[in-house]
Structures are given as C-alpha cells and as structure tokens.
Amino acid sequence: MQQKKKINLRLENGKIFTGYSFGKFCNTDGEVVFTTGMTGYPESLTDPSYSGQILTFTYPLIGNYGIPSLHYDSTGHLLEKPFESNKIQVRGVIISNYSFEYSHFDAVRSLDDWLYENDIPGIYGIDTRELTKVLRTKGVMPGEINTSIVKEKFKVVDPNKTDLVSGVCVNEPVIYRPWNRNTRKKILLIDCGVKNNIIRNFLNRGVEVIRVPYDHDPVSSGFDFSGIFISNGPGDPKRCRKTIENIKNSFGLEIPIFGICLGSQIMGLSAGADTFKLKFGHRSQNQPCIEPRGRCYITSQNHGYAVKTNTLPGNWEEWFYNNNDGTNEGIKHKSKPFFAVQFHPESSPGPNDTGWLFDMFVDML
C-alpha cells in the first residue's frame, strides 16, 4: 500500500470531500453514483453499465477478499467469474474503509493493486453516508476526483450526454458455443455493454450466442438465429438511436426478443414509449420487484433510467414494478413473444430469484 496521500472528491454542487488515495493517484471525472450492495465489488467494478461513473460503495468495508487471477478464454474474453467484462469499467472508486489485508482462497492481488494496474483512482476515509445523503437529496451528479484542492470553474461533462455504449461493446461479431455441441438454438445478442454472466447463463442452457455490436441490424443480418437478446449497458437509452430503430424493425420478424436493463429501455423506446432519468437510480442487490399478480422478487439492479409506464402503447403492458418507488421494472407485449426486465436476472452479484426468465426465453426459441 502506498504512503498516505490526501485526495479530493468535488461534486457539481460545489461540495468537497477529502480522503486518502488508493489505487492510482491521479485525476478523473464522471457521474458520481452509489450502490448499497454488501458484496461483489469485482463484479460491480467490471460491469459495463458503470462506464463513465465514479462508484461509491455504501457498505463500509471494501477490499477484504482481494481479487482473483484473470483467465481469458479462446475468444479473448474474460468469461470466468467474478469478472463481468475484460476490464474495470468505473472511472473511480469511493469507499469508507479500505481493508489493507485481504484473505480469500483464490485471491492473488489486492483491490489497491488492481486499481493501480488499471489506472483507476480510489478514495477511502470519507463519510460515504454523508455523500450518499447528498446524492439521494440532490440526485446523482457529475463530479471529479482531484489530487489537489481545485478552485477553478467546474468543467466536468455529464457522461450521459456522450456515446458510452460504443465504448463498451464488441467491434465485430464474436460467437460463443456451449459445451453441448449438438444444440440447435442460437440467439443474436445485441451488445450494448453485456455482462459476462448473461452469456454464461445462455451457454449453461445449451444456447449458442452470436454477440454483435449495438448497431448491428438483425433484419439484414447474415447470421442464422431464432431469437434476439438486447443487453444491459451504460448511459441514456435515447442515445442508442440506431439500436432503437433496429429493434423496432425487428418486431416484424416475430421471433422471441428479450431485453435486460438498458435493453428493456431500448425495447420500450422501440415500442413507442418514453424513458426518463431517475433521481439517484437503483444500484443494489435487494430491490423488490412485483408482478401485477402479486408475487415479489428480490433483484439485483444497476440503472439510472426507466420506462414511463403510462406511455406504453395499448398492445404493451407493465410486467413488473419496483415496490420502493413504483417505477417500471419490466414490460411485455400482450400477444407476441417480446418482453424485457429492468433488473438483472443473471445477478452477479446478487440473488438468483429470477433466473427462470432465461428458461422462459430459451423455451420460446
């Protein structure tokens, strides 16, 4: 661990928090958000949905079980747990107490070393409770991590106004084949920043995954597939104009289409609904989501936007809603095999209560 160096977080509203540096001692900026999850920091830090963001962990002790070794598969991707992409996706990390000593049977490096190797700054020793109260009251906002007290005008650009998705998706198609080579089910996965555990869930169910860039057109695609999946990802869904238009046209194929997180927002926009930005988002592993029939599921979530339920056209309906704030958590077509959820049934981290959604989609193929 490096010698203690003070480092600062400055929010758009002018509030400054001073703590100590770990990871890379450098400057960065992004949208400051918080997660209330109690575990799973390797999964969260590599989740592409956090691209462009400075992530605050409300759980007070982070780093105690270290980081496992990295193993890439034959496609060049880091598909082994607990990593959700090939690299750290956040721009910065904020915690209360950093665990200088780590202990776990498969840990090979500390969180501090991992962040340093990836040029990601971290802050520990600040009051994350107070920071979270600010973000809950004022809403998430741009901020900067700075190695010195800054007095010049705040110049951080809101990352949601930039093209985040193109920076986290594949540049060309990648095919993942399950261990059961006799499978006949294939899906086209529209990669908007897909989590690895989504791919794992399909492979574990014997489905071949054709992963394509976010702007790939399924209607004119040269691949053979029987279903379309739209992945999670970062930023404002309305910036994915090409994807929205492509999915709108794909409804005409009348094959099963399934979306998760950003994919749910894109499907809603493609159907003709509207989306909006949440005040501080849903980022945790214990969000209660209710089906209209009355059953409640505990879900893992990471999003800052949601579909406006009252803008859904008549042939679509709300499927799930959040029991905390009533916002939309899922939509589906009333007669065709099109459906999406705002939460993460693949978990990683979090509960596996809604993994049956993958079975439902695969059975439709």
Q: Which residues are catalytic?
A: 261, 344, 346
Phi, psi of 28 (to 5 degrees): -160, 175
Give the distance from CA 45 to its chain's centroid.
10
- CA end-to-end span of the chain: 51
Please answer whether residues 31 and 176 qualify as being in contact, where contact means their C-beta atoms are separated by less than 8 angstroms: no
Half-sphere exposure of 162 (CA within 13 A, CB side): 14
